[in-house]
Structure 1
C-alpha cells in the first residue's frame, strides 16, 4: 500500500495516472471527496448541517468555491469541516481499498494531506512524495488555477513544509521535467515496488 502525496501543484494526479497506465490500482481521496460532495451524498449533508443549505448548489451538491472561500477566511470553520469530512473520506477510502483484487501486488492511496492528517499511518506501507521546486510549484498553480501568487502561497502555508514532507518520505519523485521524464521515473519506482524489499528506499 503506497501512500501518494505532495504539495499543491506538485503533479500528484499526473503521477497517479502514470502508475494507473502500468496497471496499478488507485484509490484517490480527492475523487472520493468529489463523490461525497454530490447531491444526496454524506459530504453534502455534512456541509449543509455545519454551514447551512446556502453552501449547496440548487441541485444539492456542495458549492465548492463558496465553501473554499469560507474556510480560508475562518480557521475555525476549516477545522470543523475537516473534523467532520475527513472521517467520511477515510471510511470510503478504506472500503474502496477493501474492494480491490487480493491478487494486486500493490496499490496507490493518493492523499494530498497524507502526513498532515495522520489518518492513514497504519494503512500505508510506504509514503511516496511527489516533489517540485517551490518556484515551479507556484507558477504551475497560478497558471492552472488562475490564482495570484499570494493566494497560492496562502494555500501552501496551510500545508506541511516541503522540507518536512521530504523528511517523512520513503520514496521521492522529483517532477521538474517533462511528461516523458516523469513517466520514466514512475516506471523505475514501479519496478522497485514489484521487486525490492519494503525496507529499501528509493528516489527518482
Structure 2
C-alpha cells in the first residue's frame, strides 16, 4: 500500500534573489538576510522580500504621499509631540510639483531624484540609504514602510476586457478615433450593396 504524499505536487516557493546584477542591491540583500535571521523583526523580513522584487514591482513613491502619511501620524500623536519616524521606500522617491511646502522628514530610498533630494534637504530633512538604516535602526523601530502603486502605469489601464462598465482602455496602436455608427459607415453600406448586386 502506497503513502499519499500530498506535498509532491505543491508549487515551490517563489525566487527571492533579484535578477539585477547591481552589486549594491545584492549586498543589501545579504545585509537584510542576516538582520531577518538574527532579529525577530517583521520589518526586516518585509524589506528583504521587497528588495527581491522586480523593477516593475518597485514602484516609485512621491513626496506628497510620504507627507500625507507623516501628517496622519502627527494627527494621531499630537502636534506638539516629537516625530522620530523614518519613512522607508524600497524603490525610487520622486518629487511632486503639486506639493508646495515639504515638511522636515527622514526618508530612506533606493534612489532619489535630484529635485526630491534637493527639496528634502532644503526642508531640513535627510535622505538615507538602506545600509545607513541598518546601522541606525537594525530592528526597524519607528520605521514606516511604504510601497508605490503599480496599477498607475499606462499599460495597466488596458488590463482586462474592454467594455462599457469595465473602464478598461482598449489597446490601440493608432491615435485616430475608431468610433462606429450603429448601422456601419456609408462606405461599408455601399460595399455591401455592390457585393449583393454582383451576386445577382
Q: Which one has a bigger Cα radius of gyration?
A: 2
Larger % of helix: which?
Answer: 1
TM-score (normalised: structure 2): 0.24
TM-score (normalised: structure 1): 0.24
